[in-house]
Amino acid sequence: MEIASACTIKPAVNAKGLVRTYRRGAEQIRALKGIDLNIQCGEFVGVVGHSGAGKTTLLNLIGLMDRATEGSLSVLGHDTARRGVRFDALRRKNIGFVFQEFYLMPTLTALENVLLPTMWGKARDMTEIGSAISDRVPSRQRAAELLKLVGLGQRMTHKPSELSGGEMQRVAVARALVNSPRLLLADEPTGNLDTVTRDGIFNLLLALNRDSGLTVIVATHDLSLESRFTRVVRLEDGNVV
Ligand SMILES: Nc1ncnc2c1ncn2[C@@H]1O[C@H](COP(=O)(O)OP(=O)(O)OP(=O)(O)O)[C@@H](O)[C@H]1O
Ligand SMILES: [Mg+2]
């Protein structure tokens, strides 16, 4: 099974003077203050820094979930500032995102949750998701393979409430891989997990990078993981230091 699509664009991520300012009424919060960043295909990059440093803000920009206030950002060769760029289509095809809070659908099984990203646009609402999923035989096979890969071959029909935290996180990793991404982004994927489970998730991401050449960017405030990245980008108060 092919885990990732080839990433051949150089660089995979290129940011220059990237600024993200949040506005809350009269207040302005400069979460990113002018970031320069180059990430090559095949890298395993840790974005580290204290709480509030801007890690999630940066990942959301790279993951095409948000737009920069100023500066330039190209992701897999696409200039994100260009008018008419369809973020959702680009993201769906190229980027897997693992959220800190998993965002699994409580009413769906592990397998169905992994299949969710293949469904958008095919079901009109959540009530149609179930039947849309059962029509997708090739995707279903892939989702099952991915669950086996993350060690959940025996948990496919479990709902999130019937899974442990680490298992839910692994479902989230499998889901991020279902569309064969070129780039995997993970925001605090080991956030609330015990050290053994944390190492399991981390080793899984490492193996995906090493064995499938998947470009992986992980945001974490866990300093004990730092030495294991091929490169660390340190954020402090909205700047790379
Ligand atoms: N939607 C928002 N509106 C206003 N301010 C925000 C918003 N999102 C984040 N911020 C602020 O921007 C700054 C950077 O936030 P961000 O979530 O990127 O930090 P982080 O490094 O991911 O922190 P953590 O380790 O706690 O997850 C913080 O000061 C935060 O309060
Ligand atoms: Mg964060």
Model pLDDT, residue 217: 97
pLDDT greater than 60 at residue 14: yes
- The 10 Å Cβ neighbour count of residue 239 is 16
**Angle between helix 195-212 and helix 165-177 axes, rounded to 10 deg:** 20
202 Cα to the center of ligand 1, angstroms: 23
Alpha-carbon gap, residue 171 to 99, rounded angstroms: 11
Nearest to 189 by CA among 170, 175, 207: 170
Structure tokens given for 108:
């769906």
- Residues at Cβ < 5 Å from ligand 2 ion: 55-56
* Class of domain 42-67+93-233 as given by CATH: alpha beta
Percent of the chain with pLDDT over 90: 69
Give the residue with greater pLDDT, 185 vs 190: 185
Instruction: Confirm if 183 and 3 have CB atoms less than 8 A apart.
Output: no
pLDDT band at 144 (very low <50, low <70, confident <90, very high): very high
Domain ranges (residues) in the chain: 42-67+93-233
For ligand 1, atom 29, the nearest C-alpha belongs to 52
Indicate the burial class of 211 (C-beta count within 10 angstroms; 0-12, 13-18, 19 or more).
exposed
Distance between CA atoms of residues 193 and 172, nearest Å: 14
Mutational test site, ligand 1, from 20, 55, 58, max ligand atoms within 8 Å of CB: 55
CA of residue 224 to ligand 1 center, whole Å: 22
Pocket of ligand 1 (CB under 6 A): 22, 24, 29, 31, 49, 51-57, 221
For 133-156, the DSSP string reads HHT-HHHHHHHHHHHHHTT-TT-T
pLDDT tier, 118 (very low <50, low <70, confident <90, very high otherwise): confident
Please indicate whether residue 132 or residue 12 has the higher confidence score (pLDDT).
12
Across 93-113, average pLDDT: 91
pLDDT at 129 over 80: no
pLDDT value, residue 218: 97
User: Considering only CA atoms, which residue is closest to atom 3 of ligand 1?
Assistant: 22
Please report, in angstroms and rounded to a whole number, the separation of the first and last CA atoms in the chain: 39
What distance in Å separates the CA atoms of residue 180 and residue 93, rounded to the nearest whole number? Answer: 8
Ligand nearest to the CA of 234: 1
Residue 58: which of 86, 30, 90, 89 has the closest Cα?
A: 30
Average pLDDT, the chain: 90
Cα three-residue angle 20-235-35, rounded to 5 degrees: 45
List of residues 6+ apart from 3 with CB closer than 8 A:
149, 177, 180, 208, 211, 212, 214
